[in-house]
């Protein structure tokens, strides 16, 4: 009787082990990403939307990977010469902006120009409330800046 009980216990352990192993081998994990969250681009269905202002469509571009860029030299008659040195420029105005930023997210965002070179300044609201839009334009003060200095910067939306 003792041998029969031991054999039954052993079979029960084997059966439970085989069921556990079978369950483990049937486990699968799908690691593909069907969609993601885009934080900022030119599409209206994202958290932050960039749109070119009237007359400034040529300066706004979006790369294949979703990066938005502004090329202000496209506004120059002869872009090979660049912007004049020791001069002040204003590109756009508060009423006729270079771009409009729309915040479709649930939270306010801050907008800033970082790493600016060549006297470039972004003018507009430092923050945009949820559901609101704000107009932005640029000024350039090249006074005292070497002609070889690139004019540029990175617009940060956080």
Tens-digit pLDDT profile for residues 76-123? 877 667 778 888 989 999 999 999 999 998 889 999 999 999 999 999
**Helical H segments across the chain, by residue range:** 2-25
> Is it the case that residue 12 has pLDDT exceeding 90?
no
- In this structure, the number of other CB atoms found within 10 A of the CB of residue 153 comes to 18
Dist CA 69 CA 152 (whole Å):
11
13 part of a folded domain: no
Structural domain contains residue 99: yes
CA distances from 20 to 15, 59, 92, 94 (A): 9, 62, 69, 68
Tell if the pTM clears 0.75, that is, is over it: no
The confidence band for 40, taking pLDDT boundaries of 50, 70 and 90, is low
Total domains in the chain come to 1
Does 122 map to a domain?
yes
21 found inside a domain = no
């Amino acid at each position: 009787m003792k041998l029969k009980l031991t054999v039954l216990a052993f079979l029960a352990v084997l059966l439970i082990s085989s069921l556990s192993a079978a369950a483990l081998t049937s486990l699968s994990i799908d690691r593909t990403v069907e969609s993601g969250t885009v934080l900022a681009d030119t599409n209206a269905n994202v958290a932050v939307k960039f749109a070119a202002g009237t007359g400034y469509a040529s300066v706004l571009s979006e790369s294949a990977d979703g990066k938005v860029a502004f090329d202000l030299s496209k506004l120059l008659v002869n872009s090979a010469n660049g912007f004049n040195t020791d001069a002040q420029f204003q590109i756009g105005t508060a009423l006729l902006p270079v771009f409009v930023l729309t915040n479709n997210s649930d939270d306010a965002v801050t907008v800033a120009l970082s790493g600016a070179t060549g006297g470039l300044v972004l003018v507009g609201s430092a923050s945009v409330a949820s559901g609101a839009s704000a107009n932005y334009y640029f000024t350039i003060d090249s006074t005292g800046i070497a002609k070889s200095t690139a004019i540029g910067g990175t617009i940060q939306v956080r």
